[in-house]
Structure 1
Amino acid sequence: MADTFHTRSQLDVDGKSYRYASLPKLGERFDIGHLPYSMKILLENLLRHEDGVAVLPRHIEAVAKWDAKAEPDTEIAFMPARVVLQDFTGVPCVVDLAAMRDAVVKLGGRPEQINPLIPSELVIDHSVQVDVFGRADALDLNGRIEFERNRERYGFLRWGQKAFENFKVVPPNTGIVHQVNLEHLARVVMAGDHDGEAWAYPDTVFGTDSHTTMINGIGVLGWGVGGIEAEAAMLGQPSSMLIPQVVGFKLTGKLPEGSTATDLVLTVTQMLRKHGVVGKFVEFFGDGLRHLPLADRATVGNMAPEYGATCGIFPIDAESLTYLRLSGRDEAQIALVEAYAKAQGLWHEPGAAEASYSSVLTLDMGDVRPSLAGPRRPQDRVLLEDVKENFRDNLDPLIAHRGPAAEHVPAVADYKEEGGDQPQAKRLAAKPVSNITLDDVQHQLCDGSVVIAAITSCTNTSNPAVMLGAGLLARNAVAKGLKAAPWVKTSLGPGSLVVTDYLQKAGVLDDLEKLGFFVVGYGCTTCIGNSGPLPEAVSKGIAENDLAVASVLSGNRNFEGRIHPEVKMNYLASPPLVVAYAIAGTVDIDLTNEPLGTGSDGNPVYLKDIWPSNKEIGDFIARTIGPEMFHKNYADVFKGGTRWNNIESPDGELYAWDDASTYIKNPPYFDGMTMDVGSIDDIRGARVMGIFGDSITTDHISPAGSIKKDSPAGRFLQSRGVQPADFNSYGSRRGNDDVMVRGTFANIRIKNLFFDGEEGGNTLYFGAPGSNEAKPEKMSIYDAAMKYKADGVSTVVFAGKEYGTGSSRDWAAKGTNLLGIKAVIAESFERIHRANLVGMGVLPLQFRDGENAKSHGLDGTETVDITGLDDGKAKAAKVVATRTDGSRVEFSANVLLLTPKEVEYFRHGGLLHYVLRQLAAKETS
């Protein structure tokens, strides 16, 4: 490594010596004292990786002289210290690595060239579904079903754990990846050997889940990337990025009584979405940090994708050390973190001088009020007192097809105990109603009925304050004689085994169970759509009158079609509010003024009557949580239980692909690949695959939920002998491109504007060139794509703003590539998805400001030429859309190949192709 600025120094900690790249030494040459914490991390990364090729002195100088107000225009290479994966995104990563081993051998290399060069850890947390709920054996039964469904995938991951160096797997039923990362995997400061010397450097991380940003809460710079970018990092390739702007978010005051970290993060999300932080870093500072526990910081950092930022980071301070000690970290590691952070000027003290920021927002946390978000986007915050009005405002579009708006009727306030021929309580929100029978008792479902109440997602299940808050609220509710409404599917998915331990120690797990909140598994469950089936009677009731029912979950995303295909309205809420709405049974209620129900004494019970105080919650945290819990639960975290260790897995450096498998398949990306590099050519004669509106998410593009029997993927699986009961989910089958390409653009809620708002993944096929079809044929996007590929016709997609928001699913880009879509022209892109498209050889283009498909009068019947690309040198391309009558629409679109490295990737056909050729060239040179 080069050291142009002479920053190599030595740090002695408890008798051990470490080399490090000293920021204070660089500060003798440049004024870096004003730099934000996150920019100092980037600067150290460049100093340590200076090599005269990817990192040059000018790159270091550019960050050292960072102009907070300047628009990003300087490319740098960033190399994370480690990679974290979850199994939905991790399986295709390992599949790609296995395929690359085969490919590199064909190109003259060796299998072991494809091997992670930095620590890479995969946590299996996305596969458990809530099949069984509301009973004591739910955890065991869901675990058994999980292993039966995923035995082949898990066997493949066990092969990977044996075949690859620097690759570890945390088995199922341990916890959610981001919480395991926070509680155990994060080092905060890394200690590693380089060229025979011990080095200390910041812990930085790429994760194949967008909520990797949760780790920002403890001062670790990390963010979500696509699987292909993560694979490149694992193989030692730095990631190209523009030096970002950094938005400062100043926190003052402290949360008031009755408000939670969830309410805080929903407020922050709304503010930052309005401000606009896409592609930017967000950094939290201010005196309010002293009142913000580490778990609350992690909650705020977790939702960076929801407010649109690359990261939402907090500095290292005394609270960071307190958490490291609480979570059972080694004292020597804690000493290293403190010594290194102070030596580098990365340590935060209250009252310290503020850094320079590109812009600053301020929030007095004392103004935060109880809130939810919904019914379909996390940034759409609604005050608790306004939820009833919000529900009614959003109801009419969902029921418009049923005729005149339904007449609202007063809610029935209370209900009787089960037993005899007395009906269970029912709460009516709006007509029509569906009569259903559960356990021989009749109830009524209506618009707004809560059918799912789930304590789920790393965002909140990592936070003891809201989890114990939910438990104490449940205790108080049970004492009052309240029960959950019987039509509500209740579930508790703790973020880790530690959470269950402290709920049990606090004595509140029993109370949660009395309200139906039994532990169903340790994984993401409902938050990612693994909510499982609703009771048959509830499903029939919803279908009977096409009801607009609701879910309330402590998750981070509530996009259309994500939580459950039968649930049209989804609200994000804190765990205590999830419990409250399970009792209420409807969102057509003002919990600040209307009673949850009637207590056993015959009196109405209000939310304020059972809400625990901040002091009570704090006292329980102090009494119940300690390092011994973390020591016990993470002692053998990579070992796994009997089920895991009994799974069969092959041996060998090359994976033995099974052609009969519908889970794991050698992908076609490298078929016919040679060492020859291509060029970036113009696109001519393309057909329009779809025109989409704003906020098309990766859920819309590559769904992770259930596979419908009559969908292209469902028909394919049945043709391979898989029965619908054994379909599993799209997410679980991400290792098989035959399934996933058929699932691309197949979300039941996606709207192709070809069809005036009709939902479903369909398009129009205009026939082969020269066929002169009188009428285009309506069919699934997959079927049309295969016909166009057979015709030798390229396709393109038009879209609106924020295209590709949501989870960082590489399959949203991989599937787009395999469908033959050559370009996506959108008003704006989510950061990760744009990078993923580039990595898979799909060209992202952006309309000029104020322009879109509608402003140009495009309806999808056109053929499209995209010219002037000039082998990637052009910043703008000419788009010509030719209508059926021969008239033409011409406009310019910006080419979003943002760095020279991205242009190079694109010429190679994608990032993985670039890496393969580089490795093969080294072997044969």
Structure 2
Amino acid sequence: MSKVKKDLSVGGKKYSYYSLNEAKSLGLKNVDKLPKSLKVLLENLLRNENGQSVTWGDIEALDKWAETKKSSHEIAYHPARVVMQDFTGVPAVVDLAAMRDAMKTLGGNPQKINPLVPVDLVIDHSVMVEHFGTKEAFDQNVAIEYDRNAERYNFLKWGQKAFKNFRVVPPGTGIIHQVNLEYLADVVWTNSDSGETVAYPDTCVGTDSHTTMINGLSVLGWGVGGIEAEAAMLGQPVTMLIPEVVGFKMTGKLNEGITATDLVLNVVEALRKHGVVDKFVEFYGPGMSALSLADRATLANMAPEYGATCGFFPVDEKTIDYLRFSGRSEETVALVEAYAKEQGLWAKATDADPVFTSIVELDLSTVTPCLSGPKRPQDKVELTVAAESFGKAFVTGFGYKAEEMNQEFDVEGANYKMKHGNVVVAAITSCTNTSNPSVLVAAGLLAKKAYELGLKSKPWVKTSLAPGSKVVTDYLVESGLQEFLDNMGFNLVGYGCTTCIGNTGPLPSPISKSINENNILATSVLSGNRNFEGRISPDVKANYLASPPLVVAYAIAGNLNVNVSKDSLGKDKNGNDVFLKDIWPTNKEIEEVVLKHISSQMYQKRYANVFDGDKEWKAVKAPEGELYSWDSSSTYIAHPTFFENIKDGIINKYEVRNASVLAVLGDSVTTDHISPAGNIKKDSPAGQWLIERGVTPIDFNSYGSRRGNHEVMMRGTFANIRIKNEMLDGVEGGYSKHIPSGEQGSIYDVAMMYKMEGTPLVIFGGKEYGTGSSRDWAAKGTNLQGVKAVIVESFERIHRSNLIGMGVMPLQFPQGVTRKTLGLNGTEKIDLIPVGELAPKQQVEMTITHEDGKTTKVMLNSRIDTLDELNYFKNGGILQYVLRNLNK
């Protein structure tokens, strides 16, 4: 590709780059028509063309996309860098450490196991909201965090020293996606390894679903499983089909009082209806100019919730303004503008619309205040009917009787009663909104007005504020608004992903007791992006996503049955009713605070020494050496078993005989259902294992924090308290039945009974299997429980690839065939035989032997979609494939 390599001079410095304009002279006809997200992929192919993994045919196929608007052509994409958070990052580093041991076993050089692209791991998922509502809460939570996670932090410090190209952002800095947005991303990346400085688009993959947030800053990125990210670190490309691209055209502007959260919940609903799974979404249109960079990041963040691979915003003036405002160097800012304009990546209002596969339009002026819930992010509820909607869900969704709604229940030692619908968690949390100054300032202004009128949060509400970065604290303190948030109970509890990931911490004991003894339908309202069943708190069944100011409003109202759009929130000091309209800040008030109290110096100061950490991090001790010294007594970090058979060569034969059924599951089974991140119950297999090793329940921490120990995680697989196995009538939770003995037990215990007998297992499911977080342990745990195939109606993108990465077959029913049409109840025996030579997307014949001896045959579609995926699967997993290749 030297023919398309050109020079670009910016500020007296010379850069080489791979010119999209020059590529036209080689016969590419449609470059100017492509969506800008595909132009980024095109440059990636031009730069990495080598006649093997990337060919000229791949480049031509991407160019021809503009004529067909879709493609079945597979490409190899090389992201510039990898980002990880600690829940997914710890097991990734555990795998890399185990790969070094395996390389030594194979007689190779352990130093070959080393990231070849830059990797940043941000420790943001370990802080739990144990303490809240006081000025001491932050310090108390930090102390607990370091005490509980000492083994994990020691291990990560070892990794930081042992691996090249690997940096760790210490705890207490902020949420991975906000740190990426405010500091790590450059929009245009450079590399000088070859002796010349090559400039190219900043791209990334991350081990968190919401890596997509960085698309708001024009950086193409999305979430992958930890195992896929590890392969990318080790130089393997991300294999993908050239995606369809849905254009999302925005016109008009948001009305007074409408937040970015309201907008994104409308977008999620619209794109879910349109159908964008496995597709790129690219935003464009005249309405773009009215959205701040933070608003764009909010929209890009929730791409997993609308089902897309990413939601991309092209480079424009807003991108440049944000880079400069957030403290990037003038050299970086100048390069981004010059490069984007030279490459046709710059978006102008006068541009002709690119070619898209399809288009969705939204007039921003039609957006109204809303929430989403009670179980899924895409279930938008208009604020005006939220109370009415909750009432319906109370009966139809949760199975209560309408007349039970107004029952009151005692709370031990309290002077108030509990009721159904009580908001027991109100959290300003997660990456979605806490990177957006306008909604955080709005929350602070609402708290100020409410406090000055004499309103308070209800005493049964667990309130918390977990900002996405320390910059948020700087401007809330500087503006005086933090004081009023504190007065409402929204004290700082930590910098990290808290309530949204399930790190909610326990509710006060009397409230928890009242909820569980009386089967109260308690609720949460959070400013996050996930509200799946069993995720937020084991005590809370109904969870609603809302903007930060609405979170504060619901903390004051205290119950979902209050129609906050028109009902009184409470009485002022003079006994007069106070309504939401009385305390909702105006756009002008918000803008004045933002302009006066947020500066680029805040960003520069906070990120000047971002990798140094606080005194607690500096005190963490770490072992030395290229190989990790495993501690067999550790309940956090353990040598995984994935590479035990590495000397055996190719192990997967794509064939399963005489398998039993471990679970029959329904629609929208999330990765939280499969591998929960939060609370470990003491009577669960994982809890019992920890107790046997001297860990008391108060020190269980969370499943997410223990992902470095496969013994805990395989016991936690399918352990969500809300999962429903259709093999068992009316039973909720992770249970199954061992058919030969008729014994019922936890899914883990039943899986181990089958494993002892040498019986392979399969899982059946419905639509959208594996939605939610990019959780590699959902596939790792499935593998370790002995499951050979997962057979469903449709898969979520990341989980499908994770299953392949762990050597588990993803199989899909043909149209019109489901577990229900086949009458499956879990007593069946299953044979799976491939039809013909092994190939991507081939058919697999399933023979079902029913309990009465009759058989049914069904042709299933393999969702091993590409040749690379087939190679990963045949090797028993992607890491085994990479390891064998590195040892050649």
Tell me, yes or no, if the aligned pair for 1:399 and 1:405 is still in contact at 8 Å. Answer: no
Kindly indicate whether residue 301 of structure 2 is the aligned counterpart of residue 302 of structure 1: yes
Among candidates 835, 857, 866, match of residue 832 of structure 2: 866
Among candidates 2, 8, 12, match of residue 9 of structure 2: 12
Tell me, yes or no, if the aligned pair for 1:121 and 1:167 is still in contact at 8 Å. Answer: yes
CA distance in 2, matches of 1:197, 1:21: 13
Tell me, yes or no, if the aligned pair for 1:680 and 1:906 is still in contact at 8 Å. Answer: no
Code of the aligned partner of 1:24: N
Structure 2 match to 1:889: 856
Compared CA separation, residues 135 and 315, structure 1 to 2 (3 A): same
Compared CA separation, residues 711 and 535, structure 1 to 2 (3 A): same
Kindly indicate whether residue 877 of structure 2 is the aligned counterpart of residue 904 of structure 1: no
CA distance in 1, matches of 2:525, 2:58: 47
Q: How does 1:192-207 map to 2 (within 5 A)?
A: 192-207=191-206
Q: How does 1:61-80 map to 2 (within 5 A)?
A: 61-67=60-66, 69-80=68-79
Kindly indicate whether residue 458 of structure 2 is the aligned counterpart of residue 492 of structure 1: no
Shift of residue 69 of structure 1?
Answer: 4.7
Structure 1 match to 2:580: 607
| Equivalent position SS for 2:416 | strand
Structure 1 match to 2:225: 226
Tell me, yes or no, if the aligned pair for 1:69 and 1:245 is still in contact at 8 Å. Answer: no
| Equivalent position SS for 2:646 | coil
Among candidates 793, 796, 799, match of residue 830 of structure 1: 796
Structure 2 match to 1:422: none
Deviations 1:828-861 (A, max 9, x none): 0000000000000000000111211001111110
Tell me, yes or no, if the aligned pair for 2:764 and 2:790 is still in contact at 8 Å. Answer: yes
Shift of residue 544 of structure 1?
Answer: 2.6
Q: How does 1:258-657 map to 2 (within 5 A)?
A: 258-397=257-396, 400=399, 404-407=401-404, 430-437=405-412, 441-657=414-630
| Equivalent position SS for 1:674 | helix
State the TM-score, normalizing by the size of structure 1.
0.95
Shift of residue 601 of structure 1?
Answer: 1.5
Shift of residue 786 of structure 1?
Answer: 1.0
| Equivalent position SS for 1:350 | coil
| Equivalent position SS for 1:669 | coil
CA distance in 2, matches of 1:27, 1:367: 41
Tell me, yes or no, if the aligned pair for 1:280 and 1:309 is still in contact at 8 Å. Answer: yes
Among candidates 693, 696, 703, match of residue 730 of structure 1: 703
Tell me, yes or no, if the aligned pair for 2:834 and 2:842 is still in contact at 8 Å. Answer: no
CA distance in 2, matches of 1:843, 1:676: 18
Runs of 4+ in 1 over 6 A off after TM superposition: none
Kindly indicate whether residue 777 of structure 2 is the aligned counterpart of residue 811 of structure 1: yes
Structure 1 match to 2:39: 40
Code of the aligned partner of 2:485: L
CA distance in 2, matches of 1:760, 1:569: 17
Deviations 1:328-353 (A, max 9, x none): 00010101111110110001111211
CA distance in 1, matches of 2:325, 2:882: 41
Code of the aligned partner of 1:435: D
CA distance in 1, matches of 2:444, 2:235: 45
CA distance in 1, matches of 2:397, 2:316: 48
CA distance in 2, matches of 1:855, 1:471: 53
CA distance in 2, matches of 1:694, 1:535: 34
Shift of residue 724 of structure 1?
Answer: 1.0
Compared CA separation, residues 266 and 68, structure 1 to 2 (3 A): farther
CA distance in 2, matches of 1:675, 1:796: 24
Shift of residue 470 of structure 1?
Answer: 0.3
Structure 1 match to 2:815: 849
Structure 2 match to 1:119: 118
Higher mean alpha-carbon deviation, 190-199 vs 789-798, is at 190-199
Compared CA separation, residues 52 and 75, structure 1 to 2 (3 A): same
| Equivalent position SS for 2:647 | coil
Structure 1 match to 2:682: 709
Code of the aligned partner of 2:431: C
| Equivalent position SS for 1:829 | coil
Code of the aligned partner of 1:746: A
Structure 2, unaligned runs of 5 or more: none
Shift of residue 592 of structure 1?
Answer: 1.4
Kindly indicate whether residue 820 of structure 2 is the aligned counterpart of residue 821 of structure 1: no
Q: Kindly tell me the number of residue pairs found equivalent between the two proteins.
A: 885
CA distance in 2, matches of 1:779, 1:380: 33
Shift of residue 399 of structure 1?
Answer: 5.7
Code of the aligned partner of 1:434: F
Tell me, yes or no, if the aligned pair for 1:680 and 1:871 is still in contact at 8 Å. Answer: no
CA distance in 2, matches of 1:398, 1:275: 25
Structure 2 match to 1:421: none
Among candidates 858, 861, 876, match of residue 843 of structure 2: 876
Shift of residue 730 of structure 1?
Answer: 0.2
Q: How does 1:907-922 map to 2 (within 5 A)?
A: 907-921=874-888
Shift of residue 869 of structure 1?
Answer: 4.8
Structure 2 match to 1:156: 155
Tell me, yes or no, if the aligned pair for 2:70 and 2:357 is still in contact at 8 Å. Answer: no
Shift of residue 620 of structure 1?
Answer: 1.1
Tell me, yes or no, if the aligned pair for 1:558 and 1:572 is still in contact at 8 Å. Answer: yes
CA distance in 2, matches of 1:663, 1:101: 19
Tell me, yes or no, if the aligned pair for 2:100 and 2:110 is still in contact at 8 Å. Answer: yes
CA distance in 1, matches of 2:323, 2:756: 57
Shift of residue 871 of structure 1?
Answer: 5.4
Deviations 1:263-311 (A, max 9, x none): 0000000000011000000000001111000000000000000000000
CA distance in 2, matches of 1:195, 1:462: 36
Shift of residue 682 of structure 1?
Answer: 1.4
Compared CA separation, residues 778 and 397, structure 1 to 2 (3 A): farther
CA distance in 1, matches of 2:44, 2:203: 9
Shift of residue 540 of structure 1?
Answer: 1.4
CA distance in 2, matches of 1:42, 1:363: 27
Deviations 1:384-419 (A, max 9, x none): 00100111000014663x6x4424xxxxxxxxxxxx
Tell me, yes or no, if the aligned pair for 1:491 and 1:518 is still in contact at 8 Å. Answer: yes
Code of the aligned partner of 1:900: L
CA distance in 2, matches of 1:717, 1:592: 47
Structure 1, unaligned runs of 5 or more: 408-429, 768-772
Higher mean alpha-carbon deviation, 897-906 vs 390-399, is at 390-399
| Equivalent position SS for 2:864 | coil
CA distance in 2, matches of 1:490, 1:792: 50
Identity %: 58
Q: How does 1:667-706 map to 2 (within 5 A)?
A: 667-674=640-647, 676-706=649-679
Shift of residue 505 of structure 1?
Answer: 1.1
Shift of residue 437 of structure 1?
Answer: 4.8
Q: How does 1:78-97 map to 2 (within 5 A)?
A: 78-97=77-96
Shift of residue 756 of structure 1?
Answer: 2.6
Deviations 1:162-212 (A, max 9, x none): 111100000001100000000000010001114222100000000000000
Structure 1 match to 2:755: 789
State the TM-score, normalizing by the size of structure 2.
0.99
Q: How does 1:205-244 map to 2 (within 5 A)?
A: 205-244=204-243
Higher mean alpha-carbon deviation, 254-263 vs 190-199, is at 190-199
| Equivalent position SS for 1:892 | strand
| Equivalent position SS for 2:7 | strand
CA distance in 1, matches of 2:408, 2:89: 44
CA distance in 1, matches of 2:89, 2:19: 35
Structure 2 match to 1:752: 725
Shift of residue 109 of structure 1?
Answer: 1.2
| Equivalent position SS for 1:616 | helix
Shift of residue 536 of structure 1?
Answer: 1.0
CA distance in 1, matches of 2:246, 2:107: 48
